[in-house]
Chain A
Amino acid sequence: MTTQNLETLEKFRLRARAWAESHLERGKFPAKDDWPSQVDAQRRIFQSGFAGIAVPRQYGGLGLTLEHQRVWAEETAPFARPTGFMVSLGMILPTLLDYGTETMKLRHIPRMLSGQEAWIQLLSEPSGGSDLAGVLTRATRDDDGFVINGSKMWSSNADTADYGLCLARVDWDKPKHQGLGVFAVPLKGEGVTIEPIPPVQGGPAHFFMEYFDNVRIPAAYRLGDEGAGWAVAQRLLFHERNATAGVAYGYGLDGGGSSGESSWRVNVQDIARQTGTLDDPVLGARVADDHIELIVGRQLAERINAGLGSGQLEGHWGSLLKLQLGIDTPNNAELALALAGADGVIWEGDDDRAGGELGLNWLKVRGLSIAGGSNEIQRNIVSERLLGLPREPGDDRTVPFSELMKRRKLD
């Protein structure tokens, strides 16, 4: 398609604004609890021709540019957007575009865009998440497809998901990174058991555990060629980091550059005012520091987005932003606790979740600095890929995986 045929950004902006004003509610969906409304919103966005803005037309998208996507993100920012589809649209969809077979793309991308299907990531396992290439879930070749056996852990939103991209080991005698495959696994079909993992703060589960018992997958549902599993997984993580850091790359709902502000951040200024601690020289100074960090965090996100947008930065800069959030947000949660004192952790009545919102926030905030690659893993990426520093020595990339397994058992 030639650029002349594309709608101008300004025209598109006006059209998006008008549509959002009359079709979306202001505010936000109350988290995931409102899943049916989110599905409905995504369906309406699709039907009105605003889903998959930068996705090629043959897969149900509009075939416009990421600039149009950014305009959409800006215009819809004040409204309740179905952010529950962020993983599907911002992480999985671009990975399918990069590596999916034509069969998968034609069938599933339109369903993702219309809200008919939600997809998730099936990467981490009970045996570990950081050393992702060390997965133990197995994919065994069978006639014209694969059979999956094993278990995955921490999978966000598995309760409402239809498919997951699953990293599994195909060949145990190849070195760790070389014997892998990524498969699209149906989650509502036979052989899949899904169990909730109760989160630390109590209340409803957001992540789940899956057990796969002889789940059959057609050959067309493997992404990438034989032996390309690790490259596919890396690409998925790349899209994930960019989407969570809000880097202007994603095809997702937000993909228009992040505010540089974690949604897990607490407004400590309000707490300080309510508790009278803003006038305290020590606590007040910490509130000022928090205010400075918040402003600078946004400025950093703008800078990195500008660098990526102009092409002066390339590669894993989403990791730098993720690390910034992973350092700043737990500090913010701890400050909230310091300001609230006893009232942050003690309340009247018998309901274990009725009060102590700040205390519960502090309990769960480390999820942010662990999920999607922990701070430590981001530090490895920043130091090795952005600064070019040598890896810690080790033979885990060269010896057969079966050999690594024997060592595990010896310990």
Chain B
Amino acid sequence: MRFGLNEDQVLVRDTVRRFLEDEAPTTVIRALHENPAGVESNWWRSATALGWALLALPEAGGGITLSGGLGQDLAIVAEEFGRAVAPGAFLPTVLALKALADSPYAERFEDVISAATVGERRLAYAFAEPGNCWTPRNWQAAAVPVNGGWRLDGTKAYVEAGNEADVLVVSARAPDGFVQLLVPADTSGVERHAGRSLDFTRRFATLRFTSVELMQTALVTPVEHAESAIERQLQLALLLQSAETNGTVEKAFELTVDYMKQRYAFGRPIASYQALKHRLADMLVRIHSCMATTDAGIDAFDQNADNAHTLSRVAKAFVAAKAAAIVSDLVQMTGGIAVTWEHDLHLYERRVAVNRAVFGTPEEHRLQIHQALRTA
């Protein structure tokens, strides 16, 4: 969490935190593990009723801003979702809304947008393709203009809430670049294969599109906007995901440090042993570094700065790698109880592991940074 939040931001943070503490304690998260959708639609409606989805929209489009920075405001909510390892498709909702709101034809999507911001319709954001393909350059799924409309063919993978969503925002290759299309989930030719993830409540689906016929009005992001729009969405995805991961790690760290102050071995609290204290000190350096790099990336995003591209990759490469290492070492320091089903620490490990992979591993992002250095 950044320092110097304004009053409105603090209010939103506290409201979301209280809601999630009351409505999504880990007993609820555990129960949702059995739920095929990973979330109840009533729950999602009441969570969305808090109004956070409006933070993803510009004021002119009916949205609200707390600080003037869309990324900064959303990161506050993301961090709280992370602390609670909350259910619900926070990130896909935000990304799909961002794509729709930034569309030159945004007024066409007013109904979908307003239904989504109150949780009445659920959105998914179909981005990656099978084989860990998070890079647009390598996408195969193709949209071809036909008879004044579009025909969509191909496969999108790792689509969060892809099976539960009512509406899909699908990125695809087009004859001269890329486009994003709005595809109602029940359109003929759309095949959905539901899947699970290591996370207790997050569900991911594979979507197959076979000669899916769409009207011209399905066009969200035209070719001439797509490259920069998709890049902005990806930056936001990496940064909000990092903010969420930070929340998860912070909460797991707090729980573990508290436990270590209570747990005795050899006549004293395990938290008094230097072998453990020193690791916790190093972790605190890393945790604050993770927050620092996420917030710096978000500021660059909000200012649409040139280095937002690099800083969003730096954040993902750093945060995702450190987070998994930290939470795993917290398990080590907690002892045997932390490798049981009953102990909550694995809920945090699970969220961190999935966030590590989605939108590309830290290793992939480091490779991008490496490539950039080579050509610099």
Contact = CB atoms under 8 A, between A and B. Distances in A.
A379 interface: yes
A296 B318 contact: yes
A310 B10 CA distance: 15
A220 to B, nearest CB: 40
Contacts of B274: 379-380, 392
A320 B366 contact: no
A132 to B, nearest CB: 18
Given A313-B3, A382-B284, A292 B318 contact: yes
Given A288-B366, A295-B314, A306-B3, A379 B281 contact: yes
Contact of A393 (B272, B293, B369, B370): B272
B268 A390 contact: yes
B103 to A, nearest CB: 33
Contacts of B289: 296-297, 299-300, 324
B374 A279 contact: yes
Contact of A323 (B272, B285, B317): B285
Contacts of B257: 387, 389
Interface in B269-316: 269, 271-274, 277-278, 280-282, 284-285, 288-289, 291-293, 295-296, 311, 314
Interface in A265-288: 269, 278-279, 284-285, 287-288
Contact of B296 (A292, A299, A390): A299
B314 A389 contact: no
B269 A288 contact: no
Contacts of A288: 317, 366-367, 369-370, 373
B175 interface: no
B271 A390 contact: yes
A291 B271 contact: no
A291 B272 contact: no
Contacts of A376: 278
A302 B281 contact: no
Given A292-B314, A292-B317, A295-B314, A389 B272 contact: yes
B282 A327 contact: yes
Contacts, number: 119
B284 A296 contact: no
Interface in A83-108: none
Interface residues of A, number: 41
Contacts of B282: 323, 327, 379
Contacts of B369: 288, 291-292
Contact of A291 (B260, B280, B373): B373
B4 interface: yes
Contacts of A393: 268, 272
A287 B317 CA distance: 13
B280 A389 contact: yes
Contact of A284 (B269, B272, B284, B370): B370
Interface of A is mostly: helix
Interface in A286-335: 287-289, 291-292, 295-297, 299-300, 302-304, 306-307, 310, 312-313, 320, 323-324, 327
A82 B280 CA distance: 38
B374 A278 contact: yes
A383 B366 contact: no
A288 B369 CA distance: 6
B373 A323 contact: no
Given A296-B314, A300-B292, A390 B3 contact: no
Contact of A287 (B260, B288, B373): B373
A2 B289 CA distance: 39
Interface centre among A285, A320, A379 (most CB of B within 10 A): A379
Contacts of B18: none
B261 interface: yes
B288 A383 contact: no
Contacts of A306: 2-4
B317 A327 contact: no
Contacts of A312: 3-4
A300 B222 CA distance: 39
B260 to A, nearest CB: 8
A383 B314 contact: no
Contacts of A300: 285, 288-289, 292-293
B373 A289 contact: no
Interface of A: 269, 278-279, 284-285, 287-289, 291-292, 295-297, 299-300, 302-304, 306-307, 310, 312-313, 320, 323-324, 327, 376, 378-380, 382-384, 386-387, 389-393
Interface of B: 2-4, 257, 260-261, 268-269, 271-274, 277-278, 280-282, 284-285, 288-289, 291-293, 295-296, 311, 314, 317-318, 366-367, 369-370, 373-374
Given A292-B314, A296-B314, 6 more contacts: A285-B370, A296-B292, A327-B282, A380-B277, A389-B261, A392-B273
15 contacts: A278-B373, A285-B367, A295-B311, A296-B293, A297-B289, A299-B289, A299-B296, A302-B292, A307-B3, A324-B289, A379-B281, A380-B278, A382-B285, A383-B278, A389-B257
Instruction: Enumerate the 3 nearest inter-chain pairs by beta-carbon distance, A residue then B residue, closest first.
Output: A303-B292, A382-B281, A383-B277
